[in-house]
Amino acid sequence: MKIGIASDHRGYKLKEYLKENLKEYEIIDFGTNSEESADYPDYGIALSEKVSTKDVEKGIAICGSGIGISIACNKVKGIRCAKVSNKEEAKYTRNDNDSNVVALSAEVPQEEALEIVRTFLETPFSNDERHQRRINKITKYEEEHEC
């Protein structure tokens, strides 16, 4: 599976840790490349554009809180990015929402972040009718309003 990953300066160390510990995946890094101050929208949007076009299957986005980069990711059509704080949320966002990008806070301990990301990557979408119906409503709104 080809995975995209991106962060701002605050998420740089966690991004590098995840890359080092997810060797079973092909990982495409969309930056940033240092701890020098960087704007999370630049990296979140670049990542999300590649997820949207299916150049990568899923994305991992990291900033200081995880919130800002998740907002930026969700501005790209076709992206369902969820800011998660634990494995259970990672499981539900995949199972119920078919999220294609996960956002994390740079403050999450590295080993815990790795567990969260693995859960996100390994959990399939349920294809349950009620979940698909809800996703379809989001997609329809997005298309009707040129989001």
CATH at residue 139 = 3.40.1400.10
The number of folded domains in the chain is 1
The pLDDT, as a whole number, for residue 82 is 98
pLDDT digits (tens, 9 = 90+) for 109-126: 999 999 999 999 999 999
Are the beta carbons of 85 and 108 closer than 8 angstroms?
yes
Nearest to 62 by CA among 110, 129, 20, 123: 110
Q: What is the pLDDT of residue 85?
A: 98
pLDDT band at 146 (very low <50, low <70, confident <90, very high): confident
pLDDT, mean over the chain: 97
User: Which residue range forms the structural domain that includes residue 31?
Assistant: 2-144
pLDDT at 8 over 90: yes
* Residue 143 vs residues 4, 18, 115, 127, 134: alpha-carbon distances, Å: 25, 34, 34, 21, 14
User: Is the separation of the CB atoms in 42 and 71 below 8 Å?
Assistant: no
